[in-house]
Amino acid sequence: MVEKVELTDGFILLRPHNQGDIQLQNEAVCESIPEISAWMEWCHPGYSIEESRTWVNSRDMAWENGTDYDFAIIDPKDGRYLGACGLNSFKIRDNIANLGYWVRTTRTRQGIATAATRLLARFGFDELKLNRIEIVVATGNRASQLVAEKSGATREGVARSRFLVGDKILDAVMFSLIPQDIP
């Protein structure tokens, strides 16, 4: 098992979720439903505090099982909950994982997701010994594609019918990071 850690670059802080994040996560998600719900099925109108509680409470077990390494993105200046990021969908044999992120609407376009991606990727390479990290973004989600590009990820192509959001089948842009991409 990988020990829980906090990661920072001075601009943002990544830390494992805790019970105090339930209300904060719910507020950030609810603020961001119009922007995020088109791309992430879990974010939907009517997202409830119970959904936040269930998700936050499941993070410890996911970390212990090595299935997900999720972090709250925090503003180190004021402690505000900015969003979340994580590594998941591990392909153990090949040392590959998926990296995902979201930032609350009122804090987008400030470099937060890019900084989180870099910190999280370095954690994946150094602590989890990954060979490759994939960032899979819907073709219509230009904002998340820009985050991947700014983080140093390589655009590899479009994967047709890559994932579902509700009943919509979406194509996705595949980006990758390898250890040499993150100084």
Domain count across the chain: 1
Asked whether residue 84 is domain-assigned, the answer is yes
**Taking the model in full, what pTM does it have?**
0.95
Asked whether residue 2 is domain-assigned, the answer is no
Asked whether residue 1 is domain-assigned, the answer is no
CA atoms within 13 A on the CB side of 130: 30
Contacts of 16 (CB under 8 A, 6+ apart): 4, 5, 6, 59, 60, 63, 70, 71, 72
CA–CA separation, 35 and 135 (whole Å)? 19
Asked whether residue 29 is domain-assigned, the answer is yes
**How confident is the model at residue 166, as a pLDDT?**
87
Asked whether residue 53 is domain-assigned, the answer is yes
Which region, left, alpha or beta, applies to residue 153 given φ > 0 means left and ψ of -120 to 50 means alpha?
beta
Q: Integer distance in angstroms from the first to the last C-alpha of the chain?
A: 25
Taking residue 168's Cβ as centre, other Cβ atoms within 10 Å add up to: 10
**How confident is the model at residue 1, as a pLDDT?**
74
CA 167 to mean position of chain CA atoms: 22
CATH of the domain at 173: 3.40.630.30
**How confident is the model at residue 137, as a pLDDT?**
97
- Those residues of the chain that have pLDDT short of 70 are none
Asked whether residue 131 is domain-assigned, the answer is yes
The per-residue pLDDT for range 41-55, each reduced to its tens digit, is 999 999 999 999 999
Asked whether residue 17 is domain-assigned, the answer is yes
| Domain encompassing residue 83 | 7-181
